[in-house]
Amino acid sequence: MKTKLLAIASVTGLAVALSGCGGGDSGGSDSTLTVTMWGGAAQKAHVDSYFTPWAEANGVTIKQDSPTDYAKIKAQVEAGKVTWGLTEVEPNFANTACESGLLEKLPQDIIDKAKASGVAEEQIGECAIPILQYSFTIAYNTKTFSGDHPKTWAEFFDTRRFPGKRGFWKYATGGMFEAALLADGVKPDELYPLDIDRAFKKLETIKKDIVFYDTGDQMTQMLASGEAPLVQAWSGRIYQARQEGEKVANEWNENLVSYDQIAVPKGYPNKELAFQWMRWFLDNPKAQAADADASIYGPASENALQYVSADVRKELPGHPANAEKAIGLVNYDYWAEHYDSVTERLNAWIAQ
Amino acid sequence: MTTVATDSSMDTMQGRPRPLRLPQWLRFDGWGALVLPLLLFLILIFVAPLVVMLSRSLTDPSLGLQNYRDLFANSVYLRVLGNTFLIATIVTAVTLALAYPYAYLMTLVGPTWRMIMLGLVLVPFWTSILVRSFALVLFLRDTGAFNATLQSLGVIDEPIPLIRTLPGVVFGMVQVALPFAVLPIFATMQNIDRRLLLAAESLGARPSGAFWRIFVPLSAPGVAAGLLLTFIQALGYYITPALLGGPKNMMIGELIVQQVSSVLRFGFAAALATLLLVTTLLLLLVASRFVDLQKHLMRQT
Amino acid sequence: MTKILTRTGLAVLAALIGVYLILPILIVVPMSFSDSSFLSFPPEKLSLRWFRNLVDDPVWLESAWASLKVALASSVCSVVLGVLAALALVRGRIPFRNTIIAVLLAPLIVPYVIIGLAAYIAFLQLGLTQTTLGFVLVHTCLAVPYVVINVVAGLVAVDRRLEMAAMSLGAGPVTTFFQVTLPLILPSVLAGGLFAFFTSWDEVVTAIFLSGPEVTTLPVQMWSGIRVQIDPTVAAISTLVLLVVFGSFLILGLTRLIRRLARRRVTGPATNTGA
């Protein structure tokens, strides 16, 4: 009986394996475009809003992949077998990757078009244009801080006046160094280049109260449960949690604006198709606005803001009330240069 | 210690082809040659790409030992590596302490209960480690079900901090490792002839004596297998520790992933991986000298 | 007396361990019925929306099916290769024994991210990325040490004299293996096979490298959105998988029960032989 089972299992297994031998990469067909982003509901919103309409209008098949993995990009480019077309990346990666030849340089007309459509110039790279915006805000638990809550990073770092743990993104570009320096009294326009030593000294003062998160879920969990009633958070996620009934809220004062970009790995066979999409994207603020409504991420072009629904617009970094409270933009040129070394120092500091 | 005689004369007697005429030190006998399919498979699919990858530790970004020098210069890597071995040891000890009695009970009960106990061991497998780890976070955190129940029962006043602590990490990792220890131990125990114990008792031994001096040594191969599997596996965990542990419980796997996917220093990541591989193999070699693993695992001297 | 005490003590301990083992399940299943778009426990509002999502979005069932295929094929391959290797290790003479053992154990020790990247770089050139075959090749490597370690432990306990008796009665080595040895080591082989299956089923790190729009496995589907937000559908599909497995065991158990009952009725009380 048992040997029969084994035999059946092995035959099935082999048959299944042989039959499933299909697949293989197909980035080469003329009207296929592979889009890779961070996955999940956000990717669905992005694709539905500004990839599918363009693809349908132009007879292009969109293939989706997720999540973005920089090691895969590097491996693909080195091997000369690039399958990823439009890829959502972080700006410091885009900067370094552009310099080391991992990304296609954008045609000049796209860069000009981006500037013309109201994209902030600092956010445009040689190889990438912005795709969405968000802010690092002071997020607080509304139950713990029902009355008074920290309104500046200095107050955020004041554990005596506002006791409780502090949540930070375990990521060098997650805004903690900027927040620490601002809390220590550095003026916003003197922020970069960051004085990392000074930032670490400030972080050291609340080290025993710091809890780190790696993912958006952890961030919302720790804030909503009260484990860390104050978190340096991503604005959009906090708003979404609030809509679900969680007792959390954003404090927009001294918010730090950040963004993601979209780029094309070098050697992608259909790069012209990718560039075509970019031109369409920059010409279609309504599609960007639709994405903002669905994903609660700010649009890349400023002229798309007017099409975003009023409720959502209030939660975007581009909204005037939020923008005037902003400290400024995360400087990804600085981070392109210093990401590696600061990450090492962060690892060492955390492990102590 | 019986070994089937497989010298060439017996081969020709049974009509089997003689083994290849390789020099003595390179000779595989009939049984030994059975390792070749797996060996060749691994060399092609696993070893070759891996050697290329690990050699990047000496060539990427520049030729030489720079990566290794950086590694040893920055104490955080060595500290995290040491911490990884420590956590793995603790997890292995706890897992084995729980797995052995559980497997033993499985041999004592009737077939229905055995099925149920086996089922309980297999159930965790079917749930993704992502979901399991998140579920444990929700369970163990200060406002989670565990603390809430204890507080409502009046057992404790303040929540016990469990996540971001070593006990929390061990709790999570043992939960993952337990099935890997229970099954090999149970498989070996099943094959132990209970009549040996009865015979010992009839010869005057107390039941506990028979258990410790006959049953336990006979279950050693299964325990060794479980030990080996649990320990080596635990070295590679980083997802569960990342979700359940604190910054001080960081394991080397997390740093290697960081170097590969975030910092893109493939050569340095390769150096870290090589260090982990060499250290583990050395540890196994040393352990095998002490415990004579070979003798226990394979009855070869 | 002490026997009863130890037995009860064991039973209590085993019960606690049993609860410990299924603890995540007790949390995940209710979680899958929560209405919130965040993973939460206990669920505040109940709904079936995540199960509906499984039906609406085909990627979940497609990736589960891909995972199943890969896991089945990898476990079969690793069992075959691993059992052979275990026989060689326990019974044979192998040159460079320690080195070969190191090679056989290495997939367990080398971090999967390194294995994944190495395989990815190689497979890009061979066109094996995003193929089921590529997955099976890599996952077999990862799974094989589990089989080898388990089967070696099982082989060591086999009484060689049983085999020699069979051979002296005229059975060839292959027949002896299948009729005598294999049944004796079957628990270990099954354990190894199970580990191999689940190593592949739940493996995410190398899978992320090998996956793509053409072929994606379930863990990749679950993990892909983790940076921003975990899709609560992962809880739903976990519950569904558990239901399927539990259901099949139930059906298996019931069919056995029915067959046993039917047999009893057929061979019921003795009747006169003439009928």
Q: Are A252 and A277 members of one domain?
A: no
Q: Note whether A157 and A230 are same-domain residues.
A: yes
Both A345 and A205 in one domain: the answer is yes
Q: Can you give the pLDDT at residue B293?
A: 52
Set of chain C residues whose Cβ sits within 8 Å of the Cβ of B53: 114, 117-118, 121
Residue A291 — very low, low, confident or very high, per pLDDT cuts 50/70/90? Answer: very high
- Cα(B237)–Cα(B172) distance, integer angstroms: 11
Q: Are strands A128-141 and A248-263 parallel, antiparallel or unpaired?
A: antiparallel
Cβ of B131 and C115 within 8 Å? no
Question: What per-residue confidence (pLDDT) applies to B181?
Answer: 95
Is residue B288 included in any domain, yes or no?
yes
B contact chains, 3+ CB pairs < 8 A: A, C
Which residues touch C238 (CB under 8 Å, ≥6 apart)? B126, B127, B128, B131, C28, C32
Tell me: do A144 and A254 sit in the same domain: yes
**Mean pLDDT computed over A141-157:** 94
Which residue in C93, C161, C242 is closest to B127 by CB distance?
A: C242
CATH number of B277's domain: 1.10.3720.10
Does B207 sit behind a cis peptide bond, omega within 30 degrees of 0 on the bond before it?
no
Residues A225 and A340 in one domain: yes
- In this structure, are A205 and A96 located in the same domain? no
* CA-based nearest residue in chain C for residue B182: C191
> Which residue of chain B has the CA closest to C115?
B50
Between positions 185 and 214 of A, the ones with CB within 8 A of B are: 211-212, 214
Give the model's pLDDT for residue A22: 44
A3 in a structural domain: no
What's residue B246's pLDDT? 85
Identify the pLDDT of residue C275. 44
Are A198 and A346 contained in the same domain?
Answer: yes
Please provide the average confidence, as pLDDT, over all residues in chain A.
Answer: 91
What are the residues facing A259 on neighbouring strands? Answer: A133
Its domain, for residue A154, covers: 134-258+328-351
State percent of chain C over pLDDT 90. Answer: 64
Do residues A225 and A214 both lie within one domain?
Answer: yes
Query: Which is more confidently placed, A25 or C103?
Result: C103
For residue C225, give the chain B residue with the closest CA.
B130
Identify whether B20 is part of a domain. no
Considering the domain architecture, whether residues A85 and A222 belong to the same structural domain is answered as no
- Between A66-70, C90-94, C197-201, the lowest mean confidence (pLDDT) is in C90-94
Q: How many CB atoms lie within 10 A of CB B134?
A: 27
> Could you say which of B134, B236, B260 has the minimum Cβ distance to residue C117?
B260
What's the CA gap between C173 and C146, in Å, rounded?
A: 25
Cβ partners under 8 Å of residue B286, min gap 6: none
Q: pLDDT tens per residue, chain B (301 residues)?
A: 444 444 444 544 555 666 566 677 777 788 889 999 999 999 999 999 999 999 999 998 889 999 999 999 988 999 999 999 999 999 999 999 999 999 999 998 988 889 889 989 998 888 888 889 989 999 998 888 899 889 888 888 888 889 889 999 999 999 999 999 999 999 999 888 888 888 888 888 787 788 888 888 889 989 999 999 999 999 999 889 988 988 888 999 999 999 999 999 999 999 999 999 999 999 998 888 876 655 555 444 3
Q: How far apart are CA A283 and CA C248, in angstroms?
A: 55
Taking CB atoms and an 8 Å limit, are B261 and A70 in contact across chains? yes
Letter string b/e over residues C143-169, b meaning 16 or more CB atoms within 10 A of that residue's CB: bbbbbbbbbbbbbbbbeeeebeebbee
Q: Is the pLDDT of residue A39 over 50?
A: yes
Q: Chain B within 8 Å of A143 (Cβ-Cβ)?
A: no
Q: Are residues A147 and A288 in the same domain?
A: no
Q: Are residues A294 and A174 in the same domain?
A: no
* C-alpha dist (Å) from residue C186 to A276, A306, B104, B178, C154: 60, 69, 19, 21, 8
Domain count, chain B: 1
Residues 137-156 of B with CB under 8 A from C: 138-139, 144-145
List all residues of chain A from 305 to 324 with a beta carbon under 8 Å from chain B: none
The confidence band for A102, taking pLDDT boundaries of 50, 70 and 90, is very high
Per-residue confidence (pLDDT) for residue A47, from 0 to 100: 96
Map tokens 């998160």 to a residue: A213
A221/B142 Cβ within 8 A:
no
The CATH number of the domain where A199 resides is what? 3.40.190.10
Specify if A13 maps to a domain: no
Q: What is the mean pLDDT of residues C6-29?
A: 92
What ipTM does the predicted assembly reach? Answer: 0.88
Neighbours of B177 (CB within 10 A): 27
| Residue A21 binned pLDDT confidence (cut-offs 50, 70, 90) | very low
Put simply, the answer to whether B264 touches A211 (Cβ < 8 Å) is: no
User: What total number of domains does chain A contain?
Assistant: 2
Domain positions in chain C are 77-231
Phi-psi map region of A19: left, alpha, beta (phi>0 left; psi -120 to 50 alpha): alpha
Q: Residue A341: closest CA among chain B residues belongs to which residue?
A: B263
Q: Are residues A64 and A24 part of one domain?
A: yes
Find the closest chain B residue to C158 by CA distance.
Answer: B191
Domain for residue A190, yes or no? yes
Query: Which domain range does residue B216 map to?
Result: 50-299
Specify the pLDDT at position C50.
Answer: 93
For residue A24, what pLDDT is reported? 44
CATH code of C77-231, in short, is 1.10.3720.10
Evaluate whether residue A9 is within a structural domain. no
Reported pTM: 0.89
Q: CB contact, 8 Å: B264 with chain A?
A: yes
Contact C227 A246 (CB under 8 A): no
Q: In C37-159, where does DSSP find H-type helix?
A: 49-56, 58-91, 97-109, 112-126, 132-155
- How far apart are alpha carbons C97 and B39 in whole angstroms? 12
How many other CB atoms are found less than 10 A from the CB of residue B148? 15
CB contact under 8 A, C114 and B260: yes
Q: Average pLDDT in the A250-264 region?
A: 96
Flag whether B42 is in a domain: no
